Amino acid sequence: MTDTTLNQPSPGLAERIKALLNGKSENARSGRNAIFIFLIRVFSAALVYASQVLLARWMGAFEFGIFAYVWVWVIVLGSLTPLGFNTAILRFIPDLTEKKEFGFLRGVIVRSRMIVAGVGLAVTIAGTGIVFLLRDYLDNYYVLPLVFGLVCVPLYALAELNEGVARNYGWSDIAFLPVYILRPMLVLLAMGGITLMGNTPCGLSALLASILASFFVLVLQTIMLVRRLNTTIPQAAPQYRSKEWLMISLPILLVEGFYMLLAHIDTLMLQLFAPPEQVGIYFASAKTTGLIGFIYFAVTAVSAHKLAALHAKGEKQQFNALVKQIIHWIFWPSLAASLGIYLLGEPILWLYGPAFTAGYPVMLILLAGMLIRAATGPVEFMLNMTEHQVSTAWVLAITIGINLALNSMLIPAYGMLGAASGTVASIAFSSLMLYLLVRRKLGVNAFILGA
């Protein structure tokens, strides 16, 4: 008897696309969600990059450097303020849903929002006090912009938490559209309006526009999220395990914090040894290479909670298979994007202004760091989602020490090139150490060649 299935042609590209778009399976839904997030990140990266180019053109390198320096502080503090809940929630929600503990599920969402709001307010008040205490040691043009930036921190932090909750349920429209599309668009419109009225925008006006845009986006995002949660989670009185949740989220905070510092400490330290113009040029170069990061982000955005769910169910084989898939999804597109930036980097930087092309050598160095990180995939997510966040924190703590030491030696001697070199060396160290941790603790070869 002949097996007719052997003679059937394999599905063509058109059939596969149709199955992806119309399929009702979990894989089809995940595929559509990944494509949607990828498109959002592509459009967002283009929008943010265009807005930065226009801001640099409108403000000039000096004012753009002031805005860039303060906004880096907003990103760092705004990412630390959630105390790790924005990432830990990716573990809490699948675990509590699996156990049908809906009272604790509602409780962790409510309590995390209360904690982030309280910590954000404390950061704004304490930070403003520190700025005024140190105002005699700061350049005058940084004082008021830093205060404006601190006002933006709790708004940024709460949006980060909302994003984490929405990602758990695959609500990409709530997680990403308000923050990555609407917020930069509102800032760009405000600054464009100032320019059209015949005024010259400055770093302070850009930060004020960011505050107003962040507030509007947070309110809209929160309303959308609460409405959808109320129709998704079964009704139950909120219950709390605050101490237990904090004990899990705080080590993740260390990991998140170390990664934030690792990503931005070069810009923050460069400000100590260079004028705002060089800070602006370095920021533009870093953001150009950072375009590659949206690939990493898009893939991990739809896979981190799946890793947590597979780990919670003890499905090790599926976990390992997903890890290998993720690494390939991240590395090869990142390599292609790196080649594109290598070829077109100088004319891209020229869009900011002729002075910004001085950052091209910096950009080439930073590209190496992006590829090193892509080659090992989201190793920190793998460890965080599998209860090894403390080990990750130790590795990153050592990495930050190495980064500080290298930048302290290299920036005074080599300026922007020193900042980039110190950062890439630190990324290489952390990637190697985290790769070894994943291999030893999880038994997964999280390297592109091994995967």
**How high is the pLDDT of residue 14?**
55
pTM above 0.85, yes or no: no
Most confident range, picked from 16-25, 157-166, 286-295: 157-166
Residue-wise pLDDT tens digits, 176-233: 889 888 999 999 999 999 888 888 888 899 999 999 999 999 999 999 999 999 999 9
The predicted-structure confidence for 98-144, as pLDDT tens digits, reads as follows: 889 999 999 999 999 999 999 999 999 999 999 999 988 888 999 99
Instruction: Determine the Cα–Cα distance for residues 77 and 160; give it in Å rounded to an integer.
Output: 12
- Indicate the range of 229-238, 272-281, 298-307 predicted with least confidence: 298-307
Phi-psi region of 135 (alpha: psi -120 to 50; beta: other; left: phi over 0): alpha
Kindly report, residue by residue over 290-343, the tens digit of the pLDDT.
888 778 877 876 676 677 777 777 777 887 788 888 888 889 889 999 999 999
Which tokens hold the place of 404?
A: 């500080």
- Per-residue pLDDT of 239-264, as tens digits, reads 999 999 998 888 888 777 777 887 78
